Amino acid sequence: MHSAPDRSSRRPLLVALLVVLVLAGAVGAVALTRRGGPDPAPAGGDRSAPAVAGNLAGSAPTSAAPGPKPTPSPSPDCGSWGCPLQQRLAAAASLVRTEPGQLGVTVLDRRTGAVWEAGTAGHLMWASSTPKLAIATSLLERSRTGEIALDATARQQLAAMLAVSDDDAADALWDRYGGASLLPRFRDRYGMTGATFVPGFPQRWGFIKVSTLDLRRLTAYVLTRTDPADRAYLVQAMRSTGPIQHWGVWAAGPAQRPGAKDGWSIESDAGTKHWCTSSVGFAGDGERYVVAVMDDLPPSAGIAAGVHAVSDVVATIFGARTPATVTVPDESTGR
């Protein structure tokens, strides 16, 4: 039978073994520390780059690890109008809200078909002299088909009606070539679907209510569906109006080569008299833009307020000078 080893003899061996194990563990820990990566980002933190708390005074700048390049922001979508014009349209819409009365404006881009409106564009108000453009269009069309004959007197009256908004000329042509029977043609053929005689007044050209939408459709018809010779006549007539109509669409500025038919009158609604100012026409290369603007003013505002309101809105749309330089018709000149 063998006897158990003496405990005292085994102690040096155990001590030596422990020393070896401790030294080996320390070397492994150092190796693991050197081979390991950076600390993981805190939960919920931005993993694209570590946060930098800031540099200590006098220390070298601490730079963050480069993260992924940011995705470029897409260019703003300004639609078919393009960004510069879209910005001016927004400015015009803001201006409309500050002007007196019920002011409405609409623009058609004949190249793209885009339509823009602001304010009370669909509001029916006194048309003043703007139906004279519809009268002129009707007379030229009917003369070309042989339905009517326009003699020298009629042609002189037609020219005066467009150039200086001559009321007597418009009255004579209205009475001679159809009178109230013209209104259905305005509505059905020219797209002036809202056009209506004002109840309680004579059924004549000067007692009609329309909206800017009606006037826009009328002018679009003139520029796209009339005979080329008639169209050329109307475009030239609207471009060469007398100073009394140098406001409204005219305020687009000479670079836009605008043409206009303006209207202004003091009217009565619900027993209260007030001014109405309106303008319809075109601007831009090839008469690209159709513009119609109308202001149904409160009783406290005079004609000058309405003329400047519709003119400044148009000038803003086309980047022209504001306040626009305009000719304000004398209040006694009528429609």
Is the distance from CB of 295 to CB of 309 less than 8 angstroms? yes
Residues 121-130 pLDDT 10s: 999 999 999 9
Tell me what the mean pLDDT of segment 45-62 comes to.
34
Helices (H), the chain: 7-35, 83-96, 131-144, 152-163, 167-176, 182-190, 212-224, 228-239, 303-317
Is the distance from CB of 209 to CB of 196 less than 8 angstroms? yes
Q: Please determine, for residue 332, whether its predicted confidence score (pLDDT) is greater than 90.
A: no
Helix/strand/coil for 259: strand
Joined together, the tokens standing for residue 270 give 């619900």
Residue with the bigger pLDDT between 275 and 78: it is 275
The pLDDT confidence band at residue 15, using thresholds 50, 70 and 90, is very low
pLDDT of residue 79: 83
Joined together, the tokens standing for residue 147 give 């339905």
Q: Cα–Cα distance between 1 and 17 in angstroms, integer?
A: 29
Side-chain-facing half-sphere of 146: CA atoms under 13 Å: 0
pLDDT of residue 333: 66
Residue type, 31: A
Record the pTM.
Answer: 0.77
pLDDT of residue 70: 55
Biggest distance spanned by C-alpha atoms of the chain = 154
Q: What is the DSSP letter of 120?
A: S
Joined together, the tokens standing for residue 227 give 């005979």
Percentage with pLDDT > 90 across the chain = 73
